[in-house]
Amino acid sequence: MSFPNLGLSAEQVGLISLKQSSDNRFRVGESGVVAIAGTGDGKVEFIGFADHTMSLVNSAMGYPAYYPVDSVAEEAPLKAILMDLDGTTVHSEEFWIWIIQLSVASLMGDSKFELEDADIPYVSGHSVSEHLQYCVTKYCPDKSVEVARTYYFEHTHREMQLILDGKGKPGAFRPSPGIKDFLLELKAMGLKLGLVTSGLYEKAYPEILDAFKTLNMGDPADFYDTIITAGHALRKGQAGTLGELSPKPHPWLYAEAFRVGLGMGYDERHSAIGIEDSGAGVASIRLAGMQAWGIGGGNIDQSGTRGLCSQYSEDFESLLGLIKQRC
């Protein structure tokens, strides 16, 4: 087995075979390394040994990290469902990609700047700083991500206020098709529910509030058993919380939601699943020791992480059927 607890081979998991890790720490055939492979977007690499697998989560901000890859299994009945926000519960990725584009345009002093299709996997699913660092590196390496963040929050505050005033970008936050019935069914089944996002609180919470208002579902804080965001932004004169260096695909947001938010022990992880539309989210769930279930519409295929999904469906109706079979 090339990758214990992950898969027999890179091809089976849908990964790209590598001769060495990107940080040059490991090489196939040396120090007990049997195989090395990475996701299509290069965000996560797996180093296979004879009896275990390690993962390397790369960082555009210069702080990569290694994690053990533990086994995942199904343990009936299911007790908890954790879900992503952007692209899974609410369709808002286009809006936030647009904000990234506006921020880079301001940074470059070019109002006509537009992102390319090839940029999309790198400007969605990760942290704000990761998105901006990617753009700075590619389009304006003489600029800094710190200045880019200043523009980002200027655009974000303006556009969010316009949305609250009913004058914002049309269709910015659209509840995913079928999400209301899906959530209500899960709630009726007595499952613990958690919402997990790499988005900072000031941008993420208005999204779910707006979506619940559209769906006439009341206060999301009352509905969910836990809501975990990437915390508060660090800006001059304010205290921030850790979130920019530890977002998806690191395991910490899902681990926090599961262990702290829901109060469930690591030995119960096989009775929980995480639902994601992004490759970063799929990797985050998997590294947190839970099954990742993918849903269409995001960048799972483009990022090369579909093989890390225990289940995959294009809609919530199909996912609900699979969940009912396990309860």
Cβ–Cβ under 8 Å, residues 247 and 201: no
CA 100 and chain centroid, separation: 17
What would you report as the CA-atom Rg of the chain, rounded to the nearest whole angstrom? Answer: 19
H helices of 16-114, in order, are: 93-108
CA distance 189 to 43: 36
CA 293, 299, 302, 304 dihedral sign is: negative
Segment 165-191 mean pLDDT: 91
Sign of CA dihedral 313, 315, 316, 320: negative
The ranges assigned to domains in the chain are: 10-68, 80-91+173-324, 93-164
Structure tokens at 62: 């210069």
Output the CA–CA distances (angstroms, integers) from residue 16 to 43, 214, 218, 220, in the order listed: 12, 42, 45, 39
Instruction: Determine the pLDDT at residue 1.
Output: 63
- How far is 117 from 299, CA to CA, in rounded Å? 12
pLDDT in tens, 53-105: 999 999 988 899 999 999 999 888 999 999 999 999 999 888 999 999 999 99
Distance CA 6, CA 206 (A): 37
246 touches 282 (CB < 8 A): no
Fold of 80-91+173-324: Rossmann fold (3.40.50)
Peptide bond into 206 cis (omega under 30): no
Query: What pLDDT shows up at residue 189?
Result: 97
Q: Rounded distance, CA 284 to CA 67, Å?
A: 11
Give the number of other Cβ atoms within 10 Å of residue 242's Cβ. 12
CA angle in degrees (0–180, nearest 5) for 242-206-192: 75
Predicted local distance difference test score (pLDDT) of residue 233: 81
Write the CB contacts of 162 (distance below 8 Å, at least 6 apart in sequence).
168, 169
pLDDT of residue 154: 94
Per-residue DSSP letter, 232: -
Asked if pLDDT for residue 22 goes beyond 90, the answer is yes
Which SS3 state, helix, strand or coil, does residue 100 take? helix
**Average pLDDT of 191-204?**
92
Least confident among 105-109, 111-115, 197-201, 219-223: 197-201
pLDDT of residue 7: 85
